[in-house]
Amino acid sequence: SAHSGELHQLAVEGGGAALQTIANTAGSPCALGFDQDGALYVCDSAHQAILRRGSDGQLAEFVREYEGKLLKGPSAMQIDSQGNMFFTDSGPLGETTLQNPTGSVFTISADGQLLQPIALECLAHPCGIALAPNQSTIYVAEMMSNRILRFVQRPAGVYHSSVFYHFGGRMGPSAVACDQQGTLYVARYDLTT
């Protein structure tokens, strides 16, 4: 929950489900993801960090800065089948705007040793991320520019970007997902006049 910092799981019990609190970030969690070992990762915009909950059940800071500069506030993440993490860093709504496009997209190697930017401080509120089934294409929802960006990795470790789709209207996409067939789904909210 973004206002309480709580992380919940729905445990199946009998014919129903029970909501259980599993941790509290004391911040503002925005996105969750698991690696192959079952460790839980949390994008938390209030902590301006990605937190990791390992087998001991404790939350610890996983990444909070890039080259000595604090992240704005990670907002979305995906973890590929190799364990590499991709995340958007946009901070709270309004911090990265059309006039001040300072949002980023990063990747962290599966071993957690290499954090590198895919797009550094040049995006207007990137807030959603999805991996294509080939796992070499990344889609990013850039809300304030009202578009979906596509980053294609070719060769390994080198990403090329393009505008995949540009929407009409004023507000842009807030989330994006890709199914196993490669169909892209986009959540979008626009202001009415």
**Three-state DSSP class for 165?**
strand
> In this structure, are residues 95 and 71 in contact, taking their beta carbons and an 8 Å threshold?
no
pLDDT tens, N- to C-terminus, the chain (193 residues): 556 899 999 888 788 888 889 899 999 999 999 998 889 999 999 999 999 998 888 999 999 999 999 999 999 999 999 999 999 999 887 777 888 899 999 999 999 899 999 999 999 999 999 999 999 999 999 999 999 999 999 898 899 999 999 998 878 899 999 999 999 999 998 765 5
pTM: 0.92
DSSP state of 155: S
- Using left for φ > 0, alpha for ψ between -120 and 50, and beta otherwise, residue 186 falls in beta
Pick the closest to residue 90 from 26, 174, 191 (CA basis).
174
C-alpha atoms less than 13 angstroms from C-alpha of 178 in its C-beta half-sphere: 21
